[in-house]
A = this chain, B = another copy of it.
Amino acid sequence: MFLKNKIQISLVAIFLITASCNAQSKALAGKQKSKKQEHPSLVLTKSGVEKIKAQLGTVPLFDKTLATVKAEVDAEILNGIEVPIPKDFSGGYTHERHKKNFLILQKAGVLYQILDDETYAKYVKDVLFEYAKIYPTLPVHPQTRSYARGKLFWQCLNDSNWLVYVSQAYDCVYNYLSENERKQLEKDLFRPFAKFISVENPQFYNRVHNHSTWGNVAVGMIALVMDDAKLLETALYGLKKDNIDPNAKDNDGGFIKKKGQKVGFLANLEEPFSPDGYYTEGPYYQRYAMYPFLVFAEALENVKPELKIFEYKDGVLLKSINTLLNLTDIEGNFFPLNDGQKGMSYFSRELVSAVNIGYYFGGNPTDLLSIAKDQGEVLLDDTGLAVAIGVRDGLATPFIKKSINLTDGKDGDEGGVAILRAPGTKDDYTLVMKYSAHGLSHGHFDKLSFSYYEGGNEVIQDYGMSRFVNIQQKGGGNYLKENTTWAKQTIAHNTINQNEGSHFGGSFETGSAHHSEKYVFDVSNPKVQVISATETNAYPGTSLHRTLTIIKEDDFENPYLLDIIKVDSETENQYDLPYYYLGQIMSTNFKYNAPEVLKPLGTKNGYQHLWNLGEGKSDSENAKLSWFNKERFYTLTSVVSNEDELIFTRIGANDPDFNLRNDPGFIIRKNNTKNTYYVSLLESHGHYDPVSEIAINAFSAVKNLKIVFSDDAYIAVQIENAANRNSLFLLSQKDNAEDSKHQIKIEDKTYEWVGAFHLIKI
């Protein structure tokens, strides 16, 4: 793919979006209050419920989920109603109780519909009236940390979660309630609730952010139940007035709203998603936002089909499901790009929704059924029924994750995230390279960073966020200060750090104005897969160009990773390239000191959190570091000069609350350098079994790694392996055209090739 094509596609997309936007606006206006609203109609529908009832007992996955949900709700009903006065942060009793309430209410509503058992309707009614009793006099939440404090929870975000779920419960028991009961609930609870999270908190509601998505959807869902077209318009297009200061920020340090920015649900759908369905905040928050996006889309499709919400922005919502599933490792865990908690996976309830809704509204792609099978549960609605029937009928096909490139930015022109995947002898290898836009307030300063996986194991890790979500002991379950001082900083990532400062001077504002650029993404040859990208703004006056290639050659047990970074600067600088490996060091081929006391590696920008475990220099042209993790061996072979400092680190300095994971790292440092290359090769090799106590293939197969040619336009890297055979990787650094012809001369031999890169045996 070439940039030119991409731009053309994007222009077309913008035209379509604009056109579709107008159509939707008209459709909404024309249809409002045109017919008496049925109930339920948002997620469950009257006809859907009939279908479900008819199938009960014949669809195993659905029946199993229903039994689980029934057991869970029955236990809660037995436990009795608890609607405490709000007090705690997440992880605390009142927070977790109100969270449980909304999850259970939604489920109880569904059970009432499916099982025709008024126990559940009565339970929903009773709980709702408890809320209606306290809500009118509830002050804002006593915890003051949020830029938008809620009433039930410490932030409006969680209040919105509540309303998204409870609207569905209300929809399910709507007809069970008398008109007077509904009036009272709407007057004392739902309308003031919706008003509080919107009109009274415009800084929360009128943004492009996952927070606002939840807010907009909460208001939109209750608007649909109450059949209130005006409120629905507020949900779709935001508040007309908000008086938000364009310099205001939220408590993650993100801007509230750019001047003139469109807001509301449709804007939230349009802006953070790229045409490829990549959500700029990263997969962890994409997962979080998927639930409101999709459940509201489902509700809109059911109640206002004329909006054609699933076709919006060229069907981006459905695309995003596929994208999100691709942003996982082999075990279904999301890559922890930007702020992301490790361990979050497609087994989350949000992804159960996404997969079910994607299957039902997306033309029944059978590969989603295999994910649903893994998940082992479905939604208790039309979509879940369809999925469970598909699974029952054996329609599932494997969900195959391929090497893909995902553009970032509303129009797909703000860099992206590339994933290369290659099968090994035991496990698949997965490389994730980030060359995207900043990622709003959850972005990290990690241009051109990467992470690398072998099966479900991290080989080179991305640290993720510094937060223990909902674990009260750790800062109330919120972001820890080390998220800013460490996790977001450049040195916390596997990328170039200049002069011990973070990219963009660590400025969110500057970072948000820029993105990296793709140079090459080419996976047409499964044995030589390349992602290459450039970054020229992270350090003004310095340009970075990184090319990551996964190469499969017969002389190596597994595919290896070749990492080439070209650094060009107008000034002399210190460059640091860390590799955050995991495991225990087996050997090095260079000498290093072992300090008697440990000191932090630096004083700021994340360096203050690294213990310096020792430094060395290589007297050969390759520095080799071998380590061992989870019964496997790894070796990083790097081209170095005898001036390069090789530094061993461990995370954990200046961490008085033990908030950080004490993981190791290895830094290659070049001092007083203008232009340079970093070239490294990472192998996974062999294994060791503590039961047989046999070590297989415990040594690197790289005999020598050498830059045999380099000028401003080209680099040639020669890889000599243990079998004394040589490969040459040729790269044009200035011309990425697929059909350009290149020629360089190395020691009297001329090499010619077509396209940006070429691998040959020599």
Q: Report which A residues bind B (CB closer than 8 A).
A: 91, 96, 341-345, 347-349, 468-474, 477, 584-587, 594, 596-600, 611, 614, 626, 628, 648, 650, 654-658, 661-662, 664, 688, 690-695, 698-699
Known: A598-B611, A599-B597, A626-B473. A584 touches B691 (CB 8 A): no
Q: Taking the nearest CB of chain B, how far is it from the CB of A696, in angstroms? A: 9
Query: Which among B91, B654, B656, B658 is the interface contact of A584 at CB below 8 angstroms?
Result: B658
Tell me which residues across on chain B come within 8 A of A347, comparing CB atoms.
691
Known: A347-B691, A694-B96. A597 touches B598 (CB 8 A): yes
Known: A473-B698, A594-B656. A693 touches B600 (CB 8 A): no
Tell me which residues across on chain B come within 8 A of A692, comparing CB atoms.
348-349
Question: Chain B CB within 10 Å — which of A91, A648, A695 has the most?
Answer: A695
Using CB atoms, name the residue of chain B closest to A600.
Answer: B596
Tell me which residues across on chain B come within 8 A of A664, comparing CB atoms.
662
Using CB atoms, name the residue of chain B closest to A341.
Answer: B690
Q: Taking the nearest CB of chain B, how far is it from the CB of A617, in angstroms? A: 16
Prevailing SS type, chain A contact patch: loop
Tell me which residues across on chain B come within 8 A of A469, comparing CB atoms.
690, 693
Known: A598-B597, A650-B662, A662-B650. A586 touches B690 (CB 8 A): no
A695–B343 contact, CB under 8 A? no
B473–A587 contact, CB under 8 A? yes
- Copies of this chain present in the complex amount to 2
Instruction: Give A3 to B203 CA distance when docked, in angstroms.
Output: 77
Known: A597-B598, A600-B596. A691 touches B585 (CB 8 A): no
Q: Taking the nearest CB of chain B, how far is it from the CB of A337, in angstroms? A: 16
Tell me which residues across on chain B come within 8 A of A662, comparing CB atoms.
650, 662, 664
Q: Taking the nearest CB of chain B, how far is it from the CB of A75, in angstroms? A: 14
Instruction: Give A695 to B614 CA distance when docked, in angstroms.
Output: 38
A/B interface sample: 6 pairs, CB < 8 A: A96-B694, A349-B692, A471-B698, A472-B695, A474-B586, A594-B654
A691–B348 contact, CB under 8 A? yes
A585–B690 contact, CB under 8 A? no
Tell me which residues across on chain B come within 8 A of A594, comparing CB atoms.
654-656
Tell me which residues across on chain B come within 8 A of A657, comparing CB atoms.
585
Query: Which among B584, B597, B698 is the interface contact of A597 at CB below 8 angstroms?
Result: B597
Known: A585-B658, A658-B584, A695-B91. A343 touches B626 (CB 8 A): no
A688–B471 contact, CB under 8 A? yes
Using CB atoms, name the residue of chain B closest to A661.
Answer: B584
Tell me which residues across on chain B come within 8 A of A688, comparing CB atoms.
468, 470-471
Q: Taking the nearest CB of chain B, how far is it from the CB of A458, in angstroms? A: 14
Known: A91-B698, A594-B654. A470 touches B584 (CB 8 A): no
Question: Chain B CB within 10 Å — which of A594, A600, A614 has the most?
Answer: A594
Instruction: Give A587 to B586 CA distance when docked, in angstroms.
Output: 33
Instruction: Give A699 to B694 CA distance when docked, in angstroms.
Output: 43
A695–B598 contact, CB under 8 A? no
Instruction: Give A477 to B695 CA distance when docked, in angstroms.
Output: 10
A690–B596 contact, CB under 8 A? no
Tell me which residues across on chain B come within 8 A of A344, comparing CB atoms.
690-691, 693
A473–B654 contact, CB under 8 A? no
Q: Taking the nearest CB of chain B, how far is it from the CB of A470, in angstroms? A: 5
Tell me which residues across on chain B come within 8 A of A650, comparing CB atoms.
662
Using CB atoms, name the residue of chain B closest to A586.
Answer: B473
A691–B473 contact, CB under 8 A? no
Q: Taking the nearest CB of chain B, how far is it from the CB of A468, in angstroms? A: 8
Q: Taking the nearest CB of chain B, how far is it from the CB of A216, in angstroms? A: 23
**Which 3 residue pairs across A and B have the least CB separation, nearest first?**
A343-B690, A594-B656, A598-B598
Task: Identify 14 new A-B residue pairs, CB closer than 8 A, beyond the known A91-B698, A594-B655.
Answer: A91-B695, A342-B690, A345-B691, A348-B691, A468-B586, A469-B693, A472-B695, A472-B698, A474-B586, A585-B658, A596-B654, A597-B598, A597-B599, A648-B658
Using CB atoms, name the residue of chain B closest to A627.
Answer: B658
Instruction: Give A585 to B699 CA distance when docked, in angstroms.
Output: 36
Instruction: Give A691 to B375 CA distance when docked, in angstroms.
Output: 12
Using CB atoms, name the residue of chain B closest to A591.
Answer: B656
Using CB atoms, name the residue of chain B closest to A598.
Answer: B598
Instruction: Give A694 to B658 CA distance when docked, in angstroms.
Output: 21
Instruction: Give A694 to B597 CA distance when docked, in angstroms.
Output: 40
Tell me which residues across on chain B come within 8 A of A695, comparing CB atoms.
91, 470-472, 477
Instruction: Give A600 to B598 CA distance when docked, in angstroms.
Output: 9
Using CB atoms, name the residue of chain B closest to A658.
Answer: B585
Instruction: Give A472 to B695 CA distance when docked, in angstroms.
Output: 8
Tell me which residues across on chain B come within 8 A of A690, comparing CB atoms.
341-345, 469
Q: Taking the nearest CB of chain B, how far is it from the CB of A477, in angstroms? A: 8
Using CB atoms, name the residue of chain B closest to A348.
Answer: B691
Instruction: Give A691 to B374 CA distance when docked, in angstroms.
Output: 14
Query: Which among B341, B648, B655, B694 is the interface contact of A693 at CB below 8 angstroms?
Result: B341
Using CB atoms, name the residue of chain B closest to A626.
Answer: B473
Instruction: Give A298 to B604 CA distance when docked, in angstroms.
Output: 68
Instruction: Give A472 to B686 CA distance when docked, in angstroms.
Output: 13
Known: A96-B694, A349-B692. A471 touches B586 (CB 8 A): yes
Tell me which residues across on chain B come within 8 A of A648, comparing CB atoms.
658
Q: Taking the nearest CB of chain B, how far is it from the CB of A444, in angstroms? A: 19
Instruction: Give A471 to B208 CA distance when docked, in angstroms.
Output: 54
Q: Taking the nearest CB of chain B, how far is it from the CB of A634, in angstroms? A: 12
Using CB atoms, name the residue of chain B closest to A688.
Answer: B471
Question: Chain B CB within 10 Å — which of A473, A474, A693 has the most?
Answer: A693
Tell me which residues across on chain B come within 8 A of A598, comparing CB atoms.
597-598, 611
Q: Taking the nearest CB of chain B, how far is it from the CB of A690, in angstroms? A: 3
Instruction: Give A661 to B628 CA distance when docked, in angstroms.
Output: 12
Question: Chain B CB within 10 Å — which of A91, A349, A648 has the most?
Answer: A91
Instruction: Give A662 to B648 CA distance when docked, in angstroms.
Output: 14
Q: Taking the nearest CB of chain B, how far is it from the CB of A403, in angstroms? A: 26
Instruction: Give A600 to B690 CA distance when docked, in angstroms.
Output: 31
Tell me which residues across on chain B come within 8 A of A348, comparing CB atoms.
691-692
Tell me which residues across on chain B come within 8 A of A587, comparing CB atoms.
473-474
Q: Taking the nearest CB of chain B, how far is it from the CB of A296, in angstroms? A: 22
Instruction: Give A552 to B61 CA distance when docked, in angstroms.
Output: 38
